[in-house]
Amino acid sequence: MSAESLPGWLVAEVADGIQRLLVLRLEGCPPADAVEAVAIAWADAIVMRGGLWDEALDAPRLRAAFRALAAHVTRWPAPAELWQHMPARPKPPALERPAPAPHDKERILALLQQARRRLVRS
């Protein structure tokens, strides 16, 4: 995948995460002048593994994953290690259960009365 085909917001988030890791100067760290190339390579690996990406849902997840990764690594990580720290997407709010229509209420009450009568006869 070329750099032009990667979502710009994703490359920017990955570049920020890479810079966070570079500051740690971990063993195996790439040179500071390679940040752009490293960010593009990581963004490409993330896109290849992750499917569809949405900035509103996934930018905060990437930030959190890089923060957690930085807190746990002792040497320069591979892009695959980011997935161990990637939080799940937030669940959409649940829909409220619709109120039954008046005719449904009547039908439900009739079924309950019928069941009650059968139980009483038994």
The two three-digit tokens of residue 51, written as one number: 């499917």
In three-state form (DSSP H/G/I as H, E/B as E, the rest C), the secondary structure along 16-50 is HHHHHHHHCCCECCCCHHHHHHHHHHHHHHHHHHH
Model confidence, pTM: 0.72
Buried-exposed string 58-80: b where 16+ CB fall within 10 A, e elsewhere:
bbebbeebbeebbeebeebbebe
pLDDT single digits (tens) 48-91: 887 789 999 999 999 999 999 999 999 999 999 999 999 999 88
Q: Where are the domains of the chain?
A: 3-85
Q: What is the mean pLDDT of the chain?
A: 90
